[in-house]
Amino acid sequence: KILILDFGSQFTQLIARRVRELNVYCEIHPYNHYPQPDGTVKGVILSGSPSSVREENAPAVNLEDFRKKLPLLGVCYGAQLLAQKSGGEVLPSDTREYGRANLKLIKKDSLLLTGLSQASQVWMSHSDTIMRIPADFELIASTESVQVAAFQIAGEQTYGIQFHPEVTHSLEGKQLLENFVVKICQCKQDWNSANFIESTVQELKEKLGQDKVVLGLSGGVDSSVAALLLHRAIGKNLHCIFVDNGLLRKNEFEDVLHSYQDLGLNVKGVDAKLQFYNALSGLSDPEVKRKAIGRTFIEVFDHEAHQIQDVKWLGQGTIYPDVIESVSVKGPSATIKSHHNVGGLPDFMKLSVVEPLRSLFKDEVRRVGGELGLPPHILNRHPFPGPGLAIRILGEITPEKIRLLQEADYIYIQNLKETGWYGKIWQAGVILLDSRSVGVMGDERTYEHVVALRAVHSTDGMTADWVHLPYEILAKISNEIINKVKGINRVVYDISSKPPATIEWE
Ligand code: XMP
């Protein structure tokens, strides 16, 4: 495997994804907390960073841990660190260098540059520049404005590059990473879904033996794939719980429950609608609603988990970005779990945790799920928030409002599917506003609910652009909702991007 040391760059995860796309396994570790490389590590990549090597207390690693022992590639900050620690000079650039540049290959036979074209386009994003490299460093490429765009160190398998090969604007960046990982580090390209499933199932069998595992299914991709892997390893000893909180999309609970049963999962569907509606009654503040839902889920799940005799493990669908986030250079994020601690931990949270997807990115989870036979309607579904429709009904929630929203949402999503837009959109949904509007129907004046349609393009939900849906499709959806859903007389389309808006309205 390849070890990637993270100095806090926004692109570190992208390096890992590119390496995985080469079918080579890699792990990200924070620069100040990484395992000493053992025989399984074939090479090390030092990431970029928002810091400057010139700062006092600039993040650094003991390069002697790797140099001359393993192939080493410094990217941006990583390259500057290598240069500076070896006696080179790093200074602020005159202007912050940001954007496309073209490489002039100086040492074409450098293994790192194999197959790259002269004038290959690369992406720069840095405010410091390596002004001078030590004598044993060999310059291998420059650009118009950056002399030291790439170097290697004589007698070592150590390389540094000022540009970012991991972003797609570096057109041959993937070739460069392949040169490093395959030619220089000599990694075998055998990391794929089939191998992952085989080795994970084997590990789970050894780890769990005859133990019982309880796992909460949400209908989403991660928990479903985690369940399928565990099921393949331990069969009926995996006890799944799927809670109907009454806040899912129309027909969703029944449809997904049937799919789970068809897949052979040992799953119990729990109708807890009333419990959730009672907990939400009278609440209108978004964060208070979220907390009430979180608390109720824990009560319901804890009760159900107690019905299973001798359960030892809690299965979870944690994926790699969650893991990286919690150990990242920026420090642990303590956002989601705050309300879990009120009044002590419920019993199920004291179980040992098993997380078979801990090392996978989302697209890898999807591929594994596909290989395990998860049907496309679960595999390719849009993200859906845990609190469900409760945060898409602005203000107070009533069963009648939930029904209205479910009907409108159903029409919207069906139309997106029929027109082929569903697959092109990252997330879509309908929001029920907390104001009413006047309308006319026949000779009658109406005074009814307003809904907003939302559809966004995004890659990770952190930023998002609103989708330019064709007017004809919007017109058809609006007509259908107003004609078919009694109680809604106006439809609007949300044309805000994130930031400054968010994807959800609450
Ligand atoms: P925002 O509205 O913050 O949403 O732009 C970003 C992504 O997060 C989802 N989201 C949630 N997911 N619990 C969740 O599990 C929540 O409380 C929650 N709030 C927002 C949202 O659907 C979008 O995908």
- The per-residue DSSP string of 240-297 comes to EEEEE-S-S-TTHHHHHHHHHHHTT--EEEEE-HHHHHHHHTT---HHHHHHHHHHHH
Cα angle 407, 411, 413; round to 5? 115
Q: Which two tokens stand for residue 331?
A: 């420090």
Give distance in angstroms: CA of 345 to centre of ligand 1: 24
Whether omega before 500 lies within 30 degrees of 0, making that bond cis, reads yes
CB 143 within 8 A of CB 101: yes
Cα–Cα distance measured from residue 449 to residue 485, given in angstroms and rounded to the nearest whole number: 10
ipTM computed for the complex? 0.98
Q: What is the pLDDT of residue 368?
A: 97
What would the CATH number be for the domain defined by 398-493? 3.30.300.10
Q: Which atom of ligand 1 is nearest to the CA of 464?
A: 5
Answer whether 339 contacts ligand 1 (Cβ < 6 A).
no
Answer whether 498 contacts ligand 1 (Cβ < 6 A).
yes
CB 65 within 8 A of CB 26: no
Per the annotation, binding residues for ATP are 218-224
Cα–Cα distance measured from residue 226 to residue 19, given in angstroms and rounded to the nearest whole number: 23
Nearest CA, atom 21, ligand 1? 385
Give distance in angstroms: CA of 100 to centre of ligand 1: 33
Give distance in angstroms: CA of 359 to centre of ligand 1: 22
Cα–Cα distance measured from residue 102 to residue 124, given in angstroms and rounded to the nearest whole number: 10
Pairing of strands 427-441, 444-457: antiparallel
208 backbone φψ class: left, alpha, beta (φ>0; ψ -120 to 50): alpha
Residue 485 DSSP SS3: coil
Answer whether 502 contacts ligand 1 (Cβ < 6 A).
yes
Cα–Cα distance measured from residue 425 to residue 159, given in angstroms and rounded to the nearest whole number: 40
Ligand 1 pocket test target in 362, 503, 505 with most atoms within 8 Å of CB = 503
CB 291 within 8 A of CB 275: no
Answer whether 362 contacts ligand 1 (Cβ < 6 A).
no
Nearest CA, atom 11, ligand 1? 385
Beta pairing partners, 46: 5, 74
Q: What is the pLDDT of residue 321?
A: 84
Residue 185 DSSP SS3: coil
Q: What is the pLDDT of residues 344-386, one digit of tens each?
A: 678 888 899 999 999 999 989 999 999 999 999 999 999 999 9
Q: Which atom of ligand 1 is nearest to the CA of 462?
A: 6
Give distance in angstroms: CA of 368 to centre of ligand 1: 24
Give distance in angstroms: CA of 504 to centre of ligand 1: 6
Answer whether 220 contacts ligand 1 (Cβ < 6 A).
no
- For residue 375, give the amino acid letter: P
Q: Which two tokens stand for residue 98?
A: 């940001």
Dihedral pair phi/psi, residue 384, rounded to 5°: -140, 130
Q: How many CB atoms lie within 10 A of CB 50?
A: 12
| Whole-prediction pTM | 0.83
Q: What is the pLDDT of residue 83?
A: 97
Separation of first and last alpha carbons in the chain: 42
Ranges of each domain in the chain: 2-184, 193-379, 398-493
Nearest CA, atom 3, ligand 1? 502
User: Per residue of the chain (506 residues), what is the pLDDT tens digit?
Assistant: 999 999 999 899 999 999 999 999 999 999 999 999 999 999 999 999 999 999 999 999 999 999 999 999 999 999 999 999 999 999 998 766 788 999 999 999 999 999 999 999 999 988 899 999 999 999 999 999 899 999 999 999 999 999 999 998 999 999 999 999 999 999 999 999 999 999 999 999 999 999 999 999 999 999 999 999 999 999 999 999 999 999 999 999 999 999 999 999 999 999 999 999 999 999 999 999 999 999 999 999 999 999 999 999 999 999 988 887 766 655 433 333 333 344 567 888 889 999 999 999 998 999 999 999 999 999 999 999 999 999 999 999 999 999 999 999 999 999 999 999 999 999 999 999 999 999 998 889 999 999 999 999 998 888 899 999 999 999 999 999 999 999 999 999 999 999 999 999 99
Q: Which two tokens stand for residue 217?
A: 């299914």
Q: What whole-number percentage of the chain has pLDDT above 90?
A: 88
Nearest CA, atom 6, ligand 1? 461
Give distance in angstroms: CA of 506 to centre of ligand 1: 9
CB 432 within 8 A of CB 393: yes
CB 57 within 8 A of CB 31: no
Answer whether 317 contacts ligand 1 (Cβ < 6 A).
no
Answer whether 290 contacts ligand 1 (Cβ < 6 A).
yes
In whole angstroms, what separates CA 420 from the centre of its chain? 24
Burial class of 188 by CB neighbour count within 10 A (0 to 12, 13 to 18, 19+): exposed
Answer whether 295 contacts ligand 1 (Cβ < 6 A).
no
Answer whether 179 contacts ligand 1 (Cβ < 6 A).
no
Quickly list H helices, 397-486: 399-418, 471-484
Q: Which two tokens stand for residue 298?
A: 């824990």
Question: Which residues, 6+ apart, have CB-to-CB distance to 60 below 8 Å?
Answer: 31, 53, 81, 85
Which residues are tagged catalytic?
76, 164, 166
Question: Which residues, 6+ apart, have CB-to-CB distance to 95 below 8 Å?
Answer: none
Per the annotation, binding residues are 218-224
Answer whether 461 contacts ligand 1 (Cβ < 6 A).
yes
Between 3.30.1300.30, 3.40.50.880, 3.20.20.70, 1.10.1370.30, what CATH number should domain 2-184 receive? Answer: 3.40.50.880
Ligand 1 pocket test target in 325, 393, 504 with most atoms within 8 Å of CB = 504
Give distance in angstroms: CA of 388 to centre of ligand 1: 9
Q: Which two tokens stand for residue 19?
A: 């390496």
The answer to whether 193-379 and 398-493 have equal CATH topology is no
Q: Which atom of ligand 1 is nearest to the CA of 427?
A: 24
Pairing of strands 238-244, 267-271: parallel
User: Is domain 193-379 classified as CATH 3.40.50.620?
Assistant: yes
Q: What is the pLDDT of residue 95?
A: 67
Q: What is the pLDDT of residue 178?
A: 98
CB 405 within 8 A of CB 451: yes
Give distance in angstroms: CA of 167 to centre of ligand 1: 26
Nearest CA, atom 12, ligand 1? 385
Answer whether 463 contacts ligand 1 (Cβ < 6 A).
no
Q: How many CB atoms lie within 10 A of CB 364?
A: 21
